[in-house]
Structure 1
Amino acid sequence: MTDSMNRWRRLEALFEEIADLPEAERESALDRACRTPDGDPDDALRAEVQALLDADARAETFFHLPPPPRPLAEPIDRVGPWQLIERVGRGGMGEVWRAERADGPYEQTAAVKLVRAGLSAKGAARFVAERQILARLDHPSIARLLDGGVAPDGRPWLAMDFVEGDPITDYCDRHRLTVEARLGLFQHVCEAVQAAHRNLVVHRDLKPSNVMVADTPDGPRVTLLDFGIAKLLGEDEATPHVVTAADQRVMTPQYAAPEQVSDAPITTATDVYALGVLLYELLTGRRPFAHVEGRHAIERAILEETPTRLSEAVADDGPAPPPSLPSDVPARAAEAHAATPGPGVLRSSTAEKLRRRLRGDLDRIVLKALRKEPEQRYESAAALCADLRRHLAGLPVDARPSTVGYRASRFVRRHRTGVTVTAVAAVVVLAAAGIALREASRANDERDRAVQATVFLTDLLGDVDPDETGGREVSAEALLDRTSARLRSGLQGDPWTRAAVEASLGKVYGNLGLFDRGEALQRDALTLRQTLGGPGHPDALQSAADLAMLLTQQSRYDESEQILDEALASGTEALGPSAPAVAILRRAAGLNLVHQGRFEEAEPHLVRALADLRQSLGDGDIETAHAHAAIGALLRRQGHLVRAEAAYRRAAALYRSHYGPESARLGSVLNEIGVVVKNQGDYVRAEGYYREALGIFEATYGETHPETALALSNLGLLYKDRALLNGDAALLDRAEPLLIRSLDIFRRLHGDTHLRVAHTEAHLGLLALARGDAADAERWCRRSLATHDSSGTPALHTARPYPMTGLGEALVREGRAAEAVPILREALRIRQVSTPGHWRIAEAQSALAEALTRVGQHEEAEGLLTRAEARIQDGVGEFGPLRLQTRARRALLTARSR
């Protein structure tokens, strides 16, 4: 950037800043702002700014803009129903008053923000825009808009929750919070910012004074304030937004992102940068560029300098408190530790310990948030928050490359004791097994022995089963193989105990994606239990359910259904139709039918299973959680997105309670919630769920597990849809490697003829369509249909319309619409028969309508588009790409029919 351009940028920024001030304050503001980098008065700059201010005043007169409101002779003491008690703050646009409601039988305190007398017309309009923005936001960590209106002197005002407390940095220092506690509070800030982004609002002024923390009976409460310079993304006719010549320059320089300084487009990444600055200050007591002074120097540093790492920003005497830190708070970390050990530590006990605590993951996380390039930062506040959660849990973080050595170090940190045990696994396993078998031999009956052996095995393999710990690497396979061989050979004379051990081992193998070994063990366990206790014994029924679900995972639906039908008949006869073991079988049967697309048959199984489990085991039992998740799977595929999300959330809450925040079970449900909210049009929130699930799967299962592949595929599809929505081709480049990696994993695990392989091939075809490569799309979609045929996918399976619709659209793009019409008709028929209420029927209707339009069948195309638009309105989020595609096809039909 040339010197003249730099000077113009600065001149423009100063003009915008000073034009919003009352006339009486402009002279002193010009004196302070118009200075050289050395601090001397810059008379030439001052003259140029003054000339712009004079021209602006003449322009307002010329265009008859309304003059700013004038204060009344008497000061205002009431606005609307609010009695102004005391002024508690004053800023560039207005004053903030503590006010009490004075018009009714109840009491209420509010913060009333009132436009300052003499504020420019543009500033007053921006204030009104703030009021409209606040009306969009509803989140427990965002100050609520309570009321609004116009004061007696014509100035607009708004009333918000009155928030007591301290700026977040002051609160943390006053209470001498540890790094962990600070990160915990900061996560609440991220959640509030994410809520604003979901409503297409970018705050643009995140700083400590706009993040208040107050003590409550439930603990510290974070509240996000001041959306005075917030920006709306996209158009919203209901919310006017003031756009000035340099609207993006409205900012607090110390917390501004590079794009705010350089007038580049403002996005949610702008707030991610400010969150990075805030986190930097929370952890070190300094801002990234605290070593420079003056607006011009700060802006240059933001654009050109790389921030110092957190661990290197800590001074030898401990982190220096910010200027607002009260004098009675110790400045030195060591002094704070000596005064109040434990939770009262001010970040850390010594400067060196603090450096070690910040070094590594936290260094990388903050620097990623502070990248100059918006696309290189975290893609959302939720993604930043998720990485902090992974760090606190000792899991690998996205901010660092996922090397084997790094992942191993995270595992060791989480499981120091477990790693030591594994290092001497051969000795420990044999010794523990011998003890368990001796204890089992002393039991009086076979059931006691089975229970004791199962408890032993669970303890022994607790750091292997991802569902139980959420943190075991797939390299545990070797230990598992040794354990399996040793224990099975030692249990030949005790069949009940051997069956219990094989059942447990089989489930662990299945959880690790090692299906062949898991199936062999599950079949042995089922045969033994049926022989020993009969086909209706509860243990035999559990083995049948486990084996059936393992087969369902491999798309072996007929085999699974046969096992479940036989077990249901035996269990109902032996235990009654409502026994928990029978309900678990019903749940497995329902899920098997869901995976086949037979939703009407699945629904009674799943509804009955949930009711029986709640009745017999209670709402908090883990089996009830599994039933809620199964209901969510059914509702999602039926297109009932809101109800599906509610069911998944109930399951997720129970999984968190039973398994912890990083379990694979929870990851699976988070992945499903991501699908649901994405289909509702909320791409930002969906991405947060996908990334959190992917982080759990990679840390838990490793990088070659089917759940990892599924999360990768979902994230790739999200990028594809966002690219269609925003017209951003760069997102397509990010989607392709994720889908290719997912396909490779599925092929390696399942071979070339699996449903998941077919589904991912179809996704790659749709990605090629989004790129505009119809030939490549045709190739992928035909390959997907061939894979469906080879895998024996039922003719009416809901997965088939994906490649059929993609193939039809590719043929239309290639000028072969007549060839596409019968394929698209069949895709629509399958949708209508298999999922008659699903919103994706609109997808097939819309695609068929375009093909019909191109072959001249305008009347039928009109009817299809009308029905598609009505269905989209009922079932898809406002910002879905399907809506845009359908509108485009409507426009095509209109043009062709003229």
Structure 2
Amino acid sequence: MALQLNPGDKYEKFEILSVARKYDGSWVYRCTAEGYEQPLAVRVSLDSVQDEDTARRALREITVLEELTNTHVIRVFDSGMGANDHWHIVLEGLDGARLDHWHDFDRPMPAAQAVGLIHQACLGLAEVHARGVVHRDLKPGNLWVEPDGNLKIIDFASARGFGANALAGDNVTTQHVLVGTPQYAPPEQVYSSTLTTASDVYSLGVILYELLSGHCPFWADRPRSEVVRALADDPVDWMNAHVKQPIVPLREHASCVKVPENLADLLETCLAKKPEERPKDAGVLANSLGWVLHHELGQAPVATMLVTDPGGGVAYRMVPPGAHRVGFGPGLDIRLRVEGDDQPWALLEWEGPPKQAELRVLDGGRTITLNGQPISQRAAIGAGDELGIGGFTLRLTYPRA
């Protein structure tokens, strides 16, 4: 019998306050627990773990979340196996609502607000992609908007690692079984057994298109809700559209006539049928959206980075809001010198003012310092702080508020 808890119930050390969200295999509860001062949520499996596949699915989400530190990804505090072999994950308690509850998707959202939300999702996902993990089920129901407008990705149950980063014995091969939600699934799910970070970019592109237009990308004559109702039980029609139908150009919608051309072109690229024609990952998309926010929508001033080389020479780098790969190769976003490979040393994430940028170390074997002290994982970069990377000194200047 499925374990379904009610307000007032006790589960392990948790006092259940309310049911927050319901998933197919687990429920999330608001709760209190001894030893925690902040509001909590606990995700508990409905059924006990009775086979290896169930255990791997639980371990996968725990493995992904425990190592993430981004403010745009839900935090995990603990995990374990409870009575009768039900797994649980202890998460931060969130105020706010899912994006599809927070916003009526039949009503177009102002471009700056829509781009800003998806930009935040990209910042959260950039760390995930940098770790070699694909989310595989990005949709409005898995994006949470807090009262202050901060967006968090809240569900990684479908995530997979690839290559050396495979999680719990998994990888991103799908064996031609539909993964995630058909409305947001990339076309390669039909013809390929492998998903990449560009697959997540496609899903974010669909969400952004819907936010901007109030329509699904393939039907101009019906509002989004009408299409969703009509195809609720027909994943085949969704996948046929993703694979075969061209998207309706964004600016053909009356509400999108004034959307900047560069934004419309970027969105069309995100929704390319072939993954290799899209931005390759969320970090690249974050930087492109940051450019649009600054240059086209006037929403995000840029910061300036002063780079001093070991010989005392100086150079300047413009840093728009985004997720910037820092290192020594020509293919990186913030390159310290021309020669070198494209393996990034760190990820510099900046949402724009009034937030501070944060540096996420990507290779624990390389020494990066902040004001002379080694950084082990993530650190906020204040005005006047000095970063040391491979003999180079970096200093970030923020725009005036």
Q: Which residue of structure 2 aligns with residue 144 of structure 1?
A: 75
CA distance in 1, matches of 2:217, 2:191: 18
The answer on whether the counterparts of 2:126 and 2:281 sit within 8 Å (CA) in structure 1 is: yes
**What SS is found at the alignment partner of 1:379?**
coil
CA distance in 1, matches of 2:4, 2:70: 40
State the Cα distance separating 1:635 from its structure 2 match. Answer: 8.6
State the Cα distance separating 1:98 from its structure 2 match. Answer: 1.2
State the Cα distance separating 1:71 from its structure 2 match. Answer: 5.5
2:159 counterpart (227, 230, 255): 230
1:88 counterpart (13, 20, 23): 20
| 2:43 partner amino acid | K
Q: Which residue of structure 1 aligns with residue 394 of structure 2?
A: none
The answer on whether the counterparts of 1:149 and 1:158 sit within 8 Å (CA) in structure 2 is: yes
TM-score under structure 1 length normalisation: 0.33
The answer on whether the counterparts of 2:187 and 2:242 sit within 8 Å (CA) in structure 1 is: yes
CA distance in 1, matches of 2:312, 2:23: 48
Q: Which residue of structure 2 aligns with residue 310 of structure 1?
A: 250
Report 1:756-771 matches (<5 A).
Answer: none
CA distance in 2, matches of 1:179, 1:245: 34
Q: Which residue of structure 2 aligns with residue 198 of structure 1?
A: 130
CA distance in 2, matches of 1:359, 1:229: 34
The answer on whether the counterparts of 1:232 and 1:241 sit within 8 Å (CA) in structure 2 is: no
Worse-matched range after superposition: 274-283 or 260-269: 260-269
CA distance in 2, matches of 1:73, 1:304: 42
The answer on whether the counterparts of 2:213 and 2:256 sit within 8 Å (CA) in structure 1 is: no
Report 1:157-236 matches (<5 A).
Answer: 157-173=88-104, 178-216=110-148, 220-236=149-165
CA gap 1:197/1:123 in 2 versus in 1, 3 angstroms: same
State the Cα distance separating 1:125 from its structure 2 match. Answer: 2.6
Could you report, residue by residue, the CA deviation over 1:528-548 in whole angstroms, capped at 9, with x for unpaired residues? xxxxxxxxxxxxxxxxxxxxx
State the Cα distance separating 1:201 from its structure 2 match. Answer: 1.7
State the Cα distance separating 1:875 from its structure 2 match. Answer: 6.2
| 2:307 partner amino acid | A
CA distance in 2, matches of 1:138, 1:248: 31
Structure with greater contact order relative to length (CA < 8 Å, sep ≥ 6):
2
CA distance in 1, matches of 2:47, 2:9: 14
The answer on whether the counterparts of 1:137 and 1:199 sit within 8 Å (CA) in structure 2 is: no
Could you report, residue by residue, the CA deviation over 1:287-344 in whole angstroms, capped at 9, with x for unpaired residues? 22455721111111111111111122x3xxxxxxxxxxxxxxxxxxxxxxxxxxxxxx
CA gap 1:365/1:236 in 2 versus in 1, 3 angstroms: closer
CA distance in 2, matches of 1:171, 1:262: 34
CA gap 1:266/1:668 in 2 versus in 1, 3 angstroms: closer
The answer on whether the counterparts of 2:139 and 2:203 sit within 8 Å (CA) in structure 1 is: yes
State the Cα distance separating 1:179 from its structure 2 match. Answer: 1.4
The answer on whether the counterparts of 1:310 and 1:359 sit within 8 Å (CA) in structure 2 is: no
CA distance in 1, matches of 2:44, 2:176: 21
The answer on whether the counterparts of 1:84 and 1:100 sit within 8 Å (CA) in structure 2 is: yes
The answer on whether the counterparts of 2:98 and 2:144 sit within 8 Å (CA) in structure 1 is: yes
1:375 maps onto 2:276 in alignment = yes
CA distance in 2, matches of 1:267, 1:636: 41
State the Cα distance separating 1:200 from its structure 2 match. Answer: 1.7
**Which structure has the bigger radius of gyration?**
1
**What SS is found at the alignment partner of 1:357?**
coil
- The structure where strand makes up a greater share of residues is 2
State the Cα distance separating 1:226 from its structure 2 match. Answer: 0.2
Q: Which residue of structure 1 aligns with residue 289 of structure 2?
A: 388
1:629 maps onto 2:279 in alignment = no
| 1:95 partner amino acid | W
State the Cα distance separating 1:124 from its structure 2 match. Answer: 4.1
CA distance in 1, matches of 2:176, 2:80: 25
- The structure where helix makes up a greater share of residues is 1
How many aligned positions are there?
Answer: 330
The answer on whether the counterparts of 1:251 and 1:260 sit within 8 Å (CA) in structure 2 is: no
1:667 maps onto 2:318 in alignment = yes
| 1:94 partner amino acid | S
State the Cα distance separating 1:123 from its structure 2 match. Answer: 3.4
1:113 maps onto 2:14 in alignment = no
State the Cα distance separating 1:149 from its structure 2 match. Answer: 0.9
CA gap 1:388/1:108 in 2 versus in 1, 3 angstroms: closer
CA gap 1:124/1:873 in 2 versus in 1, 3 angstroms: closer
2:332 counterpart (661, 666, 687): 687
Could you report, residue by residue, the CA deviation over 1:501-525 in whole angstroms, capped at 9, with x for unpaired residues? xxxxxxxxxxxxxxxxxxxxxxxxx
The answer on whether the counterparts of 1:83 and 1:99 sit within 8 Å (CA) in structure 2 is: yes
1:280 maps onto 2:280 in alignment = no
1:295 counterpart (223, 235, 247): 235
State the Cα distance separating 1:229 from its structure 2 match. Answer: 0.4
CA distance in 2, matches of 1:311, 1:100: 48
1:240 counterpart (168, 173, 176): 168
Q: Structure 1: any 5+ residue segments left out of the alignment?
A: 1-69, 315-350, 396-412, 415-468, 471-621, 638-647, 649-663, 694-709, 723-871, 877-898
Report 1:51-130 matches (<5 A).
Answer: 77-101=9-33, 103-104=34-35, 107-117=37-47, 121=51, 122-130=53-61
Q: Which residue of structure 1 aligns with residue 259 of structure 2?
A: 358
CA gap 1:227/1:195 in 2 versus in 1, 3 angstroms: same
CA distance in 2, matches of 1:160, 1:635: 47
Overall identity of the aligned pairs, in %: 25
1:154 maps onto 2:85 in alignment = yes
State the Cα distance separating 1:372 from its structure 2 match. Answer: 1.0
CA distance in 2, matches of 1:186, 1:108: 27
Could you report, residue by residue, the CA deviation over 1:96-131 in whole angstroms, capped at 9, with x for unpaired residues? 111111x24x53322211112267732343122211
State the Cα distance separating 1:180 from its structure 2 match. Answer: 1.3
**What SS is found at the alignment partner of 1:629?**
strand
State the Cα distance separating 1:150 from its structure 2 match. Answer: 1.0
1:269 maps onto 2:198 in alignment = yes
**What SS is found at the alignment partner of 2:295?**
coil
Q: Which residue of structure 2 aligns with residue 133 of structure 1?
A: 64
Could you report, residue by residue, the CA deviation over 1:2-22 in whole angstroms, capped at 9, with x for unpaired residues? xxxxxxxxxxxxxxxxxxxxx
Q: Which residue of structure 1 aligns with residue 387 of structure 2?
A: none
| 1:634 partner amino acid | P
CA distance in 2, matches of 1:132, 1:636: 43
CA distance in 2, matches of 1:391, 1:688: 16
Report 1:878-897 matches (<5 A).
Answer: none
Q: Structure 2: any 5+ residue segments left out of the alignment?
A: 219-223, 345-363, 369-401
Could you report, residue by residue, the CA deviation over 1:174-217 in whole angstroms, capped at 9, with x for unpaired residues? 9985211221222111111111111222111111111111123x
State the Cα distance separating 1:688 from its structure 2 match. Answer: 4.2
CA distance in 2, matches of 1:272, 1:636: 40
Q: Which residue of structure 1 aligns with residue 396 of structure 2?
A: none
The answer on whether the counterparts of 1:164 and 1:214 sit within 8 Å (CA) in structure 2 is: yes
CA gap 1:687/1:78 in 2 versus in 1, 3 angstroms: farther
**What SS is found at the alignment partner of 2:215?**
coil
CA gap 1:384/1:73 in 2 versus in 1, 3 angstroms: closer
State the Cα distance separating 1:242 from its structure 2 match. Answer: 4.1
CA gap 1:383/1:874 in 2 versus in 1, 3 angstroms: closer
CA distance in 2, matches of 1:176, 1:278: 12
Could you report, residue by residue, the CA deviation over 1:707-745 in whole angstroms, capped at 9, with x for unpaired residues? xxx8xx67x963xx79xxxxxxxxxxxxxxxxxxxxxxx
Could you report, residue by residue, the CA deviation over 1:18-43 in whole angstroms, capped at 9, with x for unpaired residues? xxxxxxxxxxxxxxxxxxxxxxxxxx
TM-score under structure 2 length normalisation: 0.70
CA distance in 1, matches of 2:114, 2:49: 38
1:677 maps onto 2:327 in alignment = yes
CA gap 1:248/1:195 in 2 versus in 1, 3 angstroms: farther
Two-structure CA RMSD over aligned residues (Å): 4.0
CA distance in 1, matches of 2:146, 2:156: 20
Report 1:556-705 matches (<5 A).
Answer: 629-630=307-308, 633-634=309-310, 665-667=316-318, 674=325, 676-677=326-327, 687-689=332-334
